[in-house]
Structure 1
Amino acid sequence: MKNKEIFTGKLSRRSFLGAAAVVTAASAIPFSASSRNAVALAGGTVIPDSKFGGVQIGAITYSFRDMPGGLETVLKACVDAGLSSVELMGTGVEDYLGAPRQVSDAGKKARDQYNRDLKEWRKVDGTLDKYARLRKKFNDAGVKIHIYKWVAGNSEEELDYSFKVAKALGAIGVSAELNDENARLMGPVAARNGMYAVLHNHYQFGEAGFDVDRLLAYSPANMLNFDIGHYLGSTGLNPADFIRKYHNRIASIHVKDKTSANNAVQKNTNQVFGQGETPIAEVLRLIQKEKWPVYCDIELEYPVAPWSTSVKEVKTCMEYCRQILI
């Protein structure tokens, strides 16, 4: 049964229900060393481990966007979900580290002063050390930050700062939208910092005349954060075929389940893992077989039922991926 499902590129929802039920029940139990994606250290400390069969499964922290409480809540959600690697959204991080805060209804003079204060804060010796300490906080909890989704601005100075921040966090690069401006501006700055500009697609591949080769050609540091769900939903094409061709320019993928652009009933619609048409199993097994160093990040976009939570859903999505890879 398992081999047949791998060849079809899907893990059936029926086959997965048993494992999902176990994970859902386990999510009500405190995180412990008995979890299949956890490692117990001396002294009773437990850290998550979400690398399965050589493939690093993680998540973009956007998946926890419904949870109030800021960065501390995000880190706890990562640990509770069993994630050992994440693409960290930069929203609220500067505030958490003590940057000047802008008053939402401030006038122009106050806004200008805020911008000056923030620019100075970013230049202060020790600001990057705060990011390094944040990295340690995540790492000590067993969570590595492999990509930072945030830019300070689009000037060369602001982009240089953005990559320095990402490096302090332990990331391989900065993520931003896949478009001409970002590819042209970010790539050279990423290269100078020994990092990657990791460019994310939404529906660009479905647009007439879109040329990804041209955008990648701006710099060898330009890489893709390839969203397999958005690709299927916007083109109707198999994302595994794209990955075979461009694997050496893909730093990470976003894993989600969607209906295809060719679906006769409901096109390009988010689905619970296993209920859509995205060939998640084919993609993960391809990366596993070829041993490509591609981070595979869950992006939770389907609606969370009132009786569930985003942490439980991410954990269930991760178990879906684990079942494919073990």
Structure 2
Amino acid sequence: MKNNYLSRRKFLGASTLAVAGMAVASQSTFGAPAYIKNLGKPNSLFNGVQIGCITYSFRSMPSSAEQLLQYCLDANVSAIELMGPAAEAFAGAPEAPVRPQMAAPAPGQPRPQPSPEYIAAQEEYGKKVAAWRASVSMTRFEQLRKMYNDAGVSIYGFKPSALGVNNTDEEIDYAMRAAKALGANQVTVEFPTSSAQTKRLGDIAARNRVYVGYHGHLQQTFDMWDASFIQSAYNAANFDMGHYVAAGFDPIEFINARHSHISSMHTKDRKSKANGGQNVVWGEGDTPVIEVLNLIAKNQYHFPATIELEYEIPTDSDAVKEVAKCVEYARKALGA
């Protein structure tokens, strides 16, 4: 097995080329340079492992559906987990009220609460968007899928804010129909605290034949998802290997045991719990990114490895450039 942690300088020395589009990429698995094989389209499928990206990674930048697509092309990302706002705006959803800027609280003080006016506007928006979701045609979602697919980007996951305990069954059903219209096989959502909610989501998912990937943070444990797996064959894990390491666990052990229940995996580098748990540039933490990617390749696991950019972006860079560096790191890790 390859060395656990390669230095950033050694492993990412050619990342500038990645940002420029990998015009001098090394030979692909089948011998042809990637840029010839894909006729200028992005290609982040390396040695059988689909490297993807959650569009949350671009949250520091303007994020319309068209802009997100361009970021994917610039970063050589060919598959994504799409956050809800851009897709719903493209499809004509009501506009959400703008949350007012509030100063950060002083140390030890509670976070300022939004105004009653904003809370009322949010409640009104919730009613409007629920009604829109219950009746909207899937045509615009299908058009969005085509726009992305034509450019060489597939959508494997959809994460709208429509899967919570306060959302209606009609909204949840909409989320899954929209996911299918986008070409995704899964919706993703933060892991619910209620087993009744995982049962509810799993039942609606089974009717739609769309997986629900439950995402975890530091609450992740080896058996966190097990009860939901029993509830529905369409309940799955949107596993986060970086958070799992920061929680004090070994992601390789989890993947070996639960790979058949993983619908997608968030990929990042974090320090271990013992070392503080910080999000760091890939190659500088304690997360076995290289080993995990090669484990997926060796065993031909079919879930995508989703880049989630959470480390601090350097002042001379931006989210697109940093995602491109992560893509290049993965490519080199997989020997593509």
Q: What TM-score does the superposition give when structure 2 sets the normalisation length?
A: 0.83
Do 2:65 and 2:90's aligned partners in 1 also have CA atoms closer than 8 Å?
yes
Is 1:99 the counterpart of 2:93? The answer is yes
- Please give the residue correspondences for 1:156-195 in structure 2 after superposition, counting only pairs within 5 Å: 156-181=169-194, 182-195=197-210
Counterparts of 2:284 and 2:148, CA distance in 1: 33
- Please give the residue correspondences for 1:135-174 in structure 2 after superposition, counting only pairs within 5 Å: 135-153=145-163, 154-174=167-187
Is 1:122 the counterpart of 2:133? The answer is yes
Deviation of residue 277 (structure 1)? 0.5
Deviation of residue 214 (structure 1)? 1.5
Q: Which amino acid aligns with 2:274?
A: N
- Please give the residue correspondences for 1:1-326 in structure 2 after superposition, counting only pairs within 5 Å: 3=1, 6=2, 8-16=3-11, 20-27=12-19, 29=20, 31=21, 38-40=34-36, 46-104=40-98, 108=120, 114-115=125-126, 117-124=128-135, 127-153=137-163, 154-181=167-194, 182-205=197-220, 211-235=224-248, 237-263=249-275, 267-326=276-335
Deviations 1:91-122, CA, capped at 9 Å, x for gaps: 243223222224555795x7776555434433
Query: Relative to structure 2, which stretch is displaced further, 89-98 or 186-195?
Result: 89-98
Do 2:81 and 2:158's aligned partners in 1 also have CA atoms closer than 8 Å?
yes
CA change 1:13–1:114 in 2 (3 A) is closer
Deviation of residue 285 (structure 1)? 0.8
Deviations 1:30-52, CA, capped at 9 Å, x for gaps: x476556854589xx62101100
CA change 1:116–1:180 in 2 (3 A) is closer
Counterparts of 2:96 and 2:242, CA distance in 1: 36
Deviation of residue 316 (structure 1)? 0.7
Q: Secondary structure at the match of 1:47?
A: coil
Deviation of residue 155 (structure 1)? 2.5
CA change 1:303–1:156 in 2 (3 A) is same
Counterparts of 2:22 and 2:133, CA distance in 1: 39
Deviations 1:224-245, CA, capped at 9 Å, x for gaps: 111000000012x210111000
Counterparts of 1:113 and 1:184, CA distance in 2: 28
Counterparts of 2:190 and 2:208, CA distance in 1: 19
Which ranges of structure 2 fall in alignment gaps of 5 or more residues?
27-32, 99-116
Do 2:213 and 2:237's aligned partners in 1 also have CA atoms closer than 8 Å?
yes
CA change 1:132–1:232 in 2 (3 A) is same
Question: When you count helix as a share of all residues, which structure comes out higher?
Answer: 1
Deviations 1:266-294, CA, capped at 9 Å, x for gaps: x1101110000000111111111000101
Alignment coverage as a number of residue pairs: 306
Do 1:151 and 1:174's aligned partners in 2 also have CA atoms closer than 8 Å?
no
Deviations 1:218-269, CA, capped at 9 Å, x for gaps: 211111111000000012x210111000000011111110110122xxx110
Give me the identity figure in percent: 40
Which ranges of structure 1 fall in alignment gaps of 5 or more residues?
none
Q: What TM-score does the superposition give when structure 1 sets the normalisation length?
A: 0.85
Q: Secondary structure at the match of 2:77?
A: coil
Do 1:11 and 1:324's aligned partners in 2 also have CA atoms closer than 8 Å?
no
Q: Secondary structure at the match of 1:268?
A: coil
Q: Secondary structure at the match of 1:48?
A: coil
CA change 1:112–1:256 in 2 (3 A) is closer
Q: Which amino acid aligns with 1:160?
A: D
Q: Which amino acid aligns with 1:22?
A: A
Deviations 1:174-230, CA, capped at 9 Å, x for gaps: 100123434222111111111101111101125xx9743123222111111110000
Counterparts of 1:41 and 1:323, CA distance in 2: 18
Counterparts of 2:5 and 2:231, CA distance in 1: 35
Deviations 1:1-28, CA, capped at 9 Å, x for gaps: xx5xx2x433343430xxx23222552x
Q: Considering only aligned residues, what root-mean-square deviation do their CA atoms show, in Å?
A: 2.5
Q: Structure 1 residue runs of 4+, over 6 Å off?
A: 110-113
